[in-house]
Amino acid sequence: MNYHSTANPLHISNFEEAVFKGLPDPTGLYMPMHIPKLPPAFFNQLPELSLAEIGFQVLRPYVGSEIDELTFKNIVDETLSFSIPLRQIHDQVYSLELFHGPTLAFKDVGARFLARVLGHFARLSNRSITVLVATSGDTGSAVAHGFYEVSNVDVVVLYPKGKVSDFQRRQMTTLGKNIQAIEIDGTFDDCQDLVKKAFLDRNLQDKYNLTSANSINVARFLPQMVYYFWAVAQLKSIYAPPKNLPVNVSVPSGNYGNLTAGLLAKRMGLGIDHFIAAANANNSFPNYLTTGSYSPQPSIATLSNAMDVGAPSNVRRIDALYNSDSNMIAQDVRSGSFSDQDCLQTIDYVYNQYKYILDPHGAIGYKALSLAPENGVSICLETAHPIKFKEVVEAVIPSPVPMPSHVQGNSKDENIISLNNDYPIFKEYLITSR
């Protein structure tokens, strides 16, 4: 599979180059040259296949012969080694729990896949690489744990000072070894801007083999397609024999990589009728679908902090899928913006009515189901475990949030570098710290 730039279709790379470079050019992102359709037999077999078997079949065309079949199978098996259950909240409303991985967030899947792919290519070529990643919350911890002690790879994580939870921050700052966390005095958009400038700095790129672990990297967002296939596979088992009910999926959205992955899954033939792009106060994308004009805005801090992205990068990929036609996008995607008050009221309502605990991101997703068609099955993606936002959730519900059994308390010392959002200072740090 080859990949081209959304800004310049003549800029073409193979999978390995796309993964290593992260960004193809100053204004574009990598997209697959074509989106393969999966055969009807695959969809008929979905309920009988394991999560890893589905992942292998879905992702294999995007890698092709660049990774041998056995190695790729092992990469997928290691990536998808934890459960992603579909839980019924009530009636025909379900939560797809994406938080059962090591850092309790949906980004564990993409980060683990990317780490293993990059590690494989780095070992083959015997080169060292530096991964730069900006995070508004969960990406940083998932990437840090995914790459921890991976040979030939150093990771630098940038997060906005004071705008991630203590739980999220400690998951990034206590690892050490090949992981360095930097708090930036600014917003997530400032962090992302520093990363993008570094990628486009040829001196840095050539000297340190920089690459990205944000959803701008194809190996981060492509594995997220698997969620949707697995959700439908579980629905097919629940509704057996199949009732052919419409399926609507609400996606808590920040940088819109998850939504992009879902739209690719639909293009591959997966039967999802509508997506709901659930936004918090950062409403650039809902406004785009309403007005037909995309206008990125400065990010706004909210309780659902991993969604605090005012200039989401993956809108460029969505535009590439729909020829920048907001009316075409709106045929598959509905979108709405919801407040912190909506978030808290939803956590309270769902717990009191159904005894199900939502985190602040899943709460926005659940609230956005109000935009879905009334018929059919509705799924909201629960993208992080509520324990990561313990203070917010326990201020609303009467019971303590239970700590997952596979996660222990973290009392290790933190190692934090603090910088402002000035690029020359950041560049100097990268040079002197290598």
Q: Which residues contact 284 (CB under 8 A, 6 or more apart)?
A: 294, 295, 296, 297, 310, 311, 312, 315
Average pLDDT over residues 409-431: 88
Q: Counting beta carbons within 10 angstroms of the beta carbon of residue 349, is it exposed (0 to 12), middle (13 to 18) or buried (19 or more)? A: middle
Residue 241 placed within a domain: yes
Residue 251 placed within a domain: yes
Distance CA 232, CA 262 (A): 12
Q: At 408, is the pLDDT very low, low, confident or very high (cuts 50, 70, 90)?
A: low
Q: Counting beta carbons within 10 angstroms of the beta carbon of residue 124, is it exposed (0 to 12), middle (13 to 18) or buried (19 or more)? A: exposed
Q: At 192, is the pLDDT very low, low, confident or very high (cuts 50, 70, 90)?
A: confident
- The secondary structure of 169-200 as a DSSP string is HHHHHS--TTEEEEEEES-HHHHHHHHHHHHT
Q: Quick: pLDDT tens for 29-87.
A: 999 999 999 999 999 999 999 999 999 999 999 999 999 999 999 999 999 999 999 99
How long, in residues, is the chain? Answer: 434
Residue 182 pLDDT = 96
Longest dimension (CA), the chain: 62
DSSP 365: H
Residue 264 placed within a domain: yes
Q: Note the pTM of the prediction, 2 decimals.
A: 0.88
Q: Which of 51-55, 157-161, 178-182, 215-219 has the lowest mean pLDDT?
A: 215-219
Residue closest to 31 by CA, chosen among 331, 201, 276, 261? 261
- Bridge partners of 210, per DSSP, are 130
Choose from 152-161, 191-200, 362-371 the range with maximum mean pLDDT.
362-371
Distance CA 136, CA 307 (A): 7
What's the structural domain count of the chain? 1
Indicate whether 409 pLDDT > 60: no
Residue 94 placed within a domain: yes
Chain Cα centroid distance, residue 183: 21
- CATH number of 297's domain: 3.40.50.1100
DSSP 106: T
Residue 276 placed within a domain: yes
Average pLDDT over residues 177-204: 91
By residue range, what is the domain housing residue 326? 86-106+221-394
Give me 142's structure tokens.
Answer: 């998932």
Catalytic residues: 107
Residue 329 placed within a domain: yes
Residue closest to 358 by CA, chosen among 224, 209, 250, 201? 250
Cα–Cα distances in Å, from 247 out to 184, 231, 234, 281? 40, 10, 12, 26
Distance CA 226, CA 57 (A): 10
Residue closest to 257 by CA, chosen among 315, 306, 298? 315
Measure the N-to-C terminal CA separation of the chain; round to a whole number of Å.
Answer: 33
Distance CA 132, CA 356 (A): 36
Distance CA 21, CA 204 (A): 12
Residue 388 placed within a domain: yes
